[in-house]
Amino acid sequence: MMSDSVSSAIRQSGGASTSLEQTQEDTWISSSQRGDALSFNRLVLKWEKTVYNVALRMLQDRDDAAEATQEVFILAFKNIRRFRRDARFSTWLYRIAINRCVTRANQRPQGLHLSIDENGTALASIEQLTIAESQTVELLRSEQRHRVLNALSLLQAEQQAVIELKFFQELTFEEIAEILDVPLSTIKSRLYSGLEILKSRLGDRD
């Protein structure tokens, strides 16, 4: 059982797309698959901030995050014709983004952990991080934000990916399993092992 005193911290705001927005996105995807670069640019404009924030939190370096974001959209453009419409575009794009970030993180020298400054974009987007299984686990207090980002950098890239998708992107375990293409049990294992590490690094605070 995890302690209820290790706080809450990370939810990126953003509601579900309206039906009009979804229809518009579907149109851009169809046009992009026919080679329309302008339509793909519209997809980039819609999703680049989300992808950049994912990369920034996982890589904790602005240059790395910017390069990773560019790589994600280059890969997406090259492979847009392979996108199957039976899956959501966001799921497909998250998969590309997470894979690029995990690859970049794993290519770093072992033990190298970078952090961003206290006024960074990622910090500004952190609000609340909660998880409900058999109980509500509070992971981080708002005044601990800088410590939290440093603690997150100590996790394995695969653990960071699950925490990013679960708490920042507010996805379900099933959606995360689909994105990462691993069993549901593996997703939960990575999540809770990551949370245990954060708990031990941050410690309980009254």
Q: Per mean pLDDT, which range of 11-15, 85-89, 153-157 is the poorest?
A: 11-15
28 plus 90 within the same structural domain: yes
Answer whether residue 197 is part of any domain: yes
In this model, does residue 144 exceed pLDDT 60?
A: no
- In this structure, are 101 and 154 located in the same domain? no
**Domain residues for 60?**
19-107
pLDDT in tens, 168-191: 888 999 999 999 999 999 999 999
CATH number at residue 31: 1.10.1740.10
Structural domain includes residue 10:
no
Mean pLDDT of the chain: 77
How far are the Cα atoms of 12, 109, 134, 135, 206 from residue 4, in angstroms, in the given order? 22, 35, 12, 8, 11
**Are both 24 and 46 inside the same structural domain?**
yes
CATH of the domain at 138: 1.10.10.10
Residue 9 belongs to a domain: no
- Work out how many domains the chain is built from and give that number: 2
